[in-house]
Amino acid sequence: MYKADRNTFNQTAKFWTEMYAVAQATGGEAEAAAIQRVCGMGFDEASARKALEDHKWDETAAVNALLS
């Protein structure tokens, strides 16, 4: 991915960095933060929210679903 699609690589790297290197919020703040992280990868808010809800707020699963 690094060589073939640098933009997707950078978005994925940013996602994982924010997922594991940024302090996690709680409650509604956690949901809002998850939506923002997924939107930061280039997805619109409605799609991000739906994917997160469909995957029980598992960001990895939501992003994989949006990318497929």
35-57 tens-digit pLDDT: 999 999 999 999 999 999 999 99
pLDDT at 28: 78
Q: State the total domains in the chain.
A: 1
- 49: its two tokens: 């929210």
- Which residues are CB-contacts of 53 (< 8 A; sequence separation ≥ 6)? none
Q: Does residue 43 lie in a domain region?
A: yes
**Predicted confidence (pLDDT) at residue 23 exceeds the cutoff of 70:** no
Residue 54 domain-assigned? yes
Rounded CA separation 35/21 (Å)? 17
User: pTM of the prediction?
Assistant: 0.62
Residue 55 belongs to a domain? yes
CATH number of residue 68's parent domain: 1.10.8
Classify residue 57: in a domain, yes or no.
Answer: yes
In which domain, by residue range, is 35 found?
Answer: 27-68
18: which 2 tokens?
A: 């924010």
How far is Cα 24 from Cα 37, in angstroms, rounded to an integer?
12
